[in-house]
């Protein structure tokens, strides 16, 4: 009789363990580092979480934030996180250094960045050709804001040696640097752009928030904010990669079918502080830059490669394989 009970108990335990196994596997933690989680260009990361799309996929996702995309990239390379929400151009830059990273969901067709000039400097700083002798703010050295700033200056005939770059982060630290005249111009995103224009502390020098303006400044679409992972991780975690891609594809669809007011309601209060109306205004102006399906826009990777190769000798000298820097395959797999 005791043997019977022991067998019955063993069977029950095995059944419970078998039943729990799928849930344990689904709950494997995935940490995503965002290069400034409250930036509107990276809004899809928090929005997907707020809408419950990660949970719908059975994913256990933790979002973390770093003030600059280059810091998030370093965390990915070190294996401290499984994915990064940052600029696509890092995948090309890293390939030139022997690292294989690929974007599996693309959020923005354009950078969404703006080169602002301080109101004090504006009278003699009307184009990037006037950057000689100036200090320009970027989020971090090695960041996408550095890539774009150097290209814009180079295109206007200003050599790297003729200006200085100062890493000032984003948000309040960027605002402070410009108000204190530590930088005369700098690259930042919404909602900081709208805040500084409203207060009168800055003016727009170069606008990369629309397809038309981006094409004029960079020569074509410049896919920017995206979700990227190490190629090896995606290959060994195909199911998780497809689920993440699907969650972000649903998020992009939500953005394109809801108003700025409705989207803002899903965001934490500290994203917009005491001026929600300004945040909604900035978000409404930003909506056209988002992709509708998280897919890489045609021709975009070629534009990014051209921009980076202009002033980065390592990229110019390497035979970059763009097919290894992004893929729509996980989006296709998630749709099946």
* CA dist., res. 186 & res. 167, Å (int): 10
The last residue of a domain, from among 179, 208, 237: 208
Same domain, 76 and 201: no
- Two tokens, residue 232: 């090896």
Query: What is the span of the domain harbouring residue 235?
Result: 7-110+223-272+293-335
- Residue 336, classed as helix, strand or coil, is coil
Tell me, yes or no, whether 217 lies in a domain: no
Strand 164-167 and strand 135-138: pairing? parallel
Same domain, 202 and 247: no
Sheet containing 164-167: order of strands? 164-167, 135-138, 185-189, 113-118, 202-208
Same domain, 236 and 266: yes
Tell me, yes or no, whether 218 lies in a domain: no
* pLDDT tens digits, 232-277: 999 999 999 999 999 999 999 999 999 999 999 999 998 888 899 9
Same domain, 160 and 233: no
For the chain, what percent of residues have pLDDT higher than 70?
Answer: 90
115, 128 Cβ separation under 8 angstroms: yes
Tell me, yes or no, whether 40 lies in a domain: yes
Residue 67's pLDDT is 67
* pLDDT tens digits, 163-200: 999 999 988 999 999 999 999 999 999 999 999 999 99
Tell me, yes or no, whether 215 lies in a domain: no
SS3 content of the chain, % helix, strand, coil (to 5): 50, 15, 30
Tell me, yes or no, whether 92 lies in a domain: yes
Same domain, 190 and 258: no
* CA dist., res. 201 & res. 86, Å (int): 27
* pLDDT tens digits, 266-282: 999 988 888 999 999 99
Helix 43-50 to helix 238-257 angle, to the nearest 10 degrees? 100
Residue 230's pLDDT is 97
Tell me, yes or no, whether 331 lies in a domain: yes
State the chain's mean pLDDT as an integer. 90
Same domain, 102 and 120: no
Residue 112 CA neighbour count, 13 Å, CB half: 29
Poorest-pLDDT segment among 15-19, 93-97, 125-129: 15-19
Residue 8's pLDDT is 46
258, 267 Cβ separation under 8 angstroms: no
* CA dist., res. 210 & res. 31, Å (int): 31
C-alpha angle with apex 306: 300 to 312, nearest 5 degrees? 130
Tell me, yes or no, whether 280 lies in a domain: no
Same domain, 239 and 101: yes
Same domain, 330 and 237: yes
Same domain, 96 and 227: yes
Strand 83-87 and strand 29-34: pairing? parallel
* pLDDT tens digits, 294-317: 999 999 999 999 999 988 888 987
Q: Residue 137: which of 170, 159, 168 has the closest Cα?
A: 168
Q: What is the CATH number of the domain that holds 122?
A: 3.40.190.10
| DSSP for 153-208, written as a single string | HHHTT--GGGSEEEE--STHHHHHHHHTTS-SEEEEETTHHHHHHHHTSEEEEEEE
Residue 69's pLDDT is 61
Poorest-pLDDT segment among 27-36, 253-262, 288-297, 318-327: 27-36
Same domain, 70 and 146: no
303, 219 Cβ separation under 8 angstroms: yes
Same domain, 61 and 118: no
What is the number of other CB atoms lying within 10 angstroms of the CB of residue 141? 12
Same domain, 328 and 231: yes
| DSSP for 290-315, written as a single string | B-SSSPPPTTHHHHHHHHHHHH-HHH
Tell me, yes or no, whether 166 lies in a domain: yes
Is the full-model pTM beyond 0.75? yes
For the chain, what percent of residues have pLDDT higher than 90?
Answer: 79
User: Which residues lie closer than 8 Å to 276 by C-beta, 6 or more apart?
Assistant: 264
Number of domains in the chain: 2
């Amino acid at each position: 009789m005791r043997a019977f009970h022991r067998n019955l108990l063993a069977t029950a335990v095995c059944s419970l363990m078998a039943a729990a196994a799928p849930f344990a596997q689904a709950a494997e933690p995935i940490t995503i580092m965002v290069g400034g989680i409250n930036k509107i260009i990276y809004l899809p990361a928090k929005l997907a979480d707020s809408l419950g799309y990660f949970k719908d996929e059975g994913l256990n996702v933790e979002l973390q934030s770093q003030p600059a995309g280059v810091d998030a990239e370093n965390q990915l390379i070190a294996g401290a996180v499984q994915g990064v929400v940052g600029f696509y151009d890092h995948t090309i830059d890293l390939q030139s250094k022997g690292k294989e990273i690929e974007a599996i969901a693309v959020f923005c067709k354009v950078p969404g960045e703006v080169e602002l000039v301080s109101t004090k400097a504006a009278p003699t700083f009307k184009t990037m050709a006037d950057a000689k002798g100036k200090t320009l703010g970027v989020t971090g050295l090695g960041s996408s804001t550095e890539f774009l700033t150097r290209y814009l200056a180079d295109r206007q005939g200003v050599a790297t040696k003729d200006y200085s770059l100062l890493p000032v982060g984003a948000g309040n630290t960027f605002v402070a640097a410009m108000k204190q005249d530590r930088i005369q111009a700098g690259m930042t995103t919404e909602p900081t752009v709208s805040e500084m224009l409203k207060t009168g502390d800055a003016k727009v020098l170069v606008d990369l928030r629309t397809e038309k303006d981006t094409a004029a400044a960079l020569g074509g679409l410049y896919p920017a904010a995206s979700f990227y992972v190490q190629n090896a991780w995606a290959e060994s975690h195909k199911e998780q990669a497809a689920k993440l891609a699907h969650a972000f594809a649903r998020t992009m669809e939500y953005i394109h079918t809801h108003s700025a007011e409705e989207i803002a309601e899903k965001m934490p209060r500290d994203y917009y502080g005491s001026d929600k109306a300004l945040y909604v205004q900035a978000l409404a102006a930003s909506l056209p830059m988002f992709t509708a399906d998280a897919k890489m826009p045609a021709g975009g990777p070629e534009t990014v490669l051209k921009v980076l190769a202009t002033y980065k000798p390592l990229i110019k000298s390497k035979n970059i394989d763009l097919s290894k820097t992004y893929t729509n395959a996980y989006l296709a797999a998630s749709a099946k």
